Every structure is written in C-alpha cells, then in structure tokens.
C-alpha cells in the first residue's frame, strides 16, 4: 500500500467476522460474495464453514488474482455487478456483500437479482461501513485532518456521481476513492 494506514486492522477483522457469523449461521452450503475484492470476508467464512462452496464475484482482475492466491478453493468469476448475476435462479444459500452496493449506479437492480438467485429461505447479508462516523485517532494531526477532509469531499463528489475533483493530499488510493 502506498498510503499511510488509516484504519485499524482489529476493527476491519471484526467486521468480516460479523459478516461471516451471519453468513454461515445454520448453513454450510453455497455462499456467493458480490464484490469480494481480495477475499477478506470469504477468508473468514472459509475458516468458519470449511465445507461451504464459495464463489467470489468482482470486476477487479487484480483483486481476484490476490483472492485466488489467498483462497484457492474459491470459485472466482470476473463479473460486472451492473449486469445480471451469472447464476441460475434459486440455487444459492447465501449472498454476502460488503461495502460494494454503494459502488453501483443502480444498487436496487443488484438486490432484485440477489433475490432471484437465492433459494427460498436463503439469506442476503449486506454490510456497509458508515464512513461518516469514522473516528480518526492518530497522533499525526496533519494526517488526521487530510484524511477527514478528503473523505468528506469524496462523499460529496460520489453523491453527485463525480469520480474526480478531490485535491491530492498525498493519501494514495484512499485519496482517489476506494470503490475501484
Ligand atoms: C470497497 S471494496 C470492498 C471489497 C470487499 N467486499 C471487502 O469488504 O473487503 C468494493 C469492491 O467492489 C468491487 N466493485 C465495484 N464496482 C463493481 C462492479 N460494478 N462490479 C463488480 N465489482 C465491483 C470493487 O472491485 C471492490 O473489490
């Protein structure tokens, strides 16, 4: 990573633990992660339910390559979630998706398709971080200000559908927005 660390690994790992607990409760069947990234959630699910059939969907090829190296047992499909899921009707036990719906222009279309692929009684576990409530507790006060200002501007620009316009404050990928 080329930018300073601005998140606590302990916090992120507990988010993925929570998603995994909700995903595997009462099932060790088929679990699909929409916007799996490098596999943070699926890694936790794989530890909790080793017998599950896991599928990762994401449009980012480099993220999926990392996921395959990390979790060779996962079926990986490069897929744009703006298009219908490459899955048959009613065949999936659980769909999980974390911090991805907000990346889509039409999140409701994905949700409708998630309902299509879930079996009757299947479960969708959707997680979203409320970034506006993040507390930055780091000694470097200049860095803290740059992070908060950048994030506030990203929220406004994303809300207006704009991908650019945030001044470069030397924060690397974080400063350019984190969805893609
Ligand atoms: C903020 S990351 C979250 C990754 C992962 N769920 C996690 O919690 O670590 C958002 C993910 O959504 C993926 N994504 C964004 N837009 C997408 C799209 N249209 N189709 C498929 N994946 C998309 C990105 O490539 C990225 O991996």
**pLDDT by 10s per residue, the chain, length 180:** 333 334 555 567 888 999 999 999 876 699 999 999 999 999 999 999 999 999 999 999 999 999 999 999 999 999 999 999 999 999 999 999 999 998 888 999 999 999 999 999 999 999 987 766 777 788 999 988 888 888 777 766 655 555 566 777 777 766 665 555
Question: Helix or strand or coil: residue 3?
Answer: coil
Locus of tokens 């001044």: 167
Is any ligand 1 atom within 6 A of the Cβ of residue 178? yes
CA distances from 133 to 101, 130, 148 (A): 18, 6, 11
Fold designation for 9-127: Rossmann fold (3.40.50)
Atom 4 in ligand 1: residue holding the nearest Cα: 37
State residue 96 phi and psi, 5-degree precision. Answer: -120, 145
For 37, which DSSP code? T
pLDDT for the residue 35: 98
Is any ligand 1 atom within 6 A of the Cβ of residue 63? yes
Residue 90 CA to residue 114 CA, distance in Å, equals 9
How many Å lie between the centroid of ligand 1 and the Cα of residue 36? 6
Residue 12 CA to residue 126 CA, distance in Å, equals 15
Break the chain into its structural domains and give their ranges. Answer: 9-127, 130-180
Question: Helix or strand or coil: residue 123?
Answer: strand
pLDDT for the residue 1: 34
């Amino acid at each position: 990573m080329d930018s300073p660390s601005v998140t606590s690994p302990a916090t992120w790992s507990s988010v993925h633990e929570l998603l995994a607990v909700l995903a595997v409760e009462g099932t060790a069947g088929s679990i699909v992660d929409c916007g799996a990234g490098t596999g943070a959630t699926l890694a936790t699910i794989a530890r909790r339910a080793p017998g599950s059939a896991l599928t990762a969907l994401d449009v980012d090829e480099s993220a999926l390559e990392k996921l395959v190296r990390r979790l060779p047992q996962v079926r990986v499909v490069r897929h744009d979630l703006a298009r219908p899921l490459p899955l048959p009707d009613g065949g999936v036990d659980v769909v999980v998706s974390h911090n991805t719906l907000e990346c889509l222009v039409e999140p409701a279309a994905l949700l409708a398709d998630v309902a299509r692929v879930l079996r009757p009684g299947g479960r969708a576990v959707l997680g979203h971080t409320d970034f506006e409530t993040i507390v930055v507790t780091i000694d470097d006060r200049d860095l803290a200000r740059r992070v908060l200002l950048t994030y506030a501007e990203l929220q406004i620009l994303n809300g207006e559908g704009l991908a650019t316009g945030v001044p470069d404050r030397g924060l690397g990928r974080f400063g350019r927005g984190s969805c893609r």
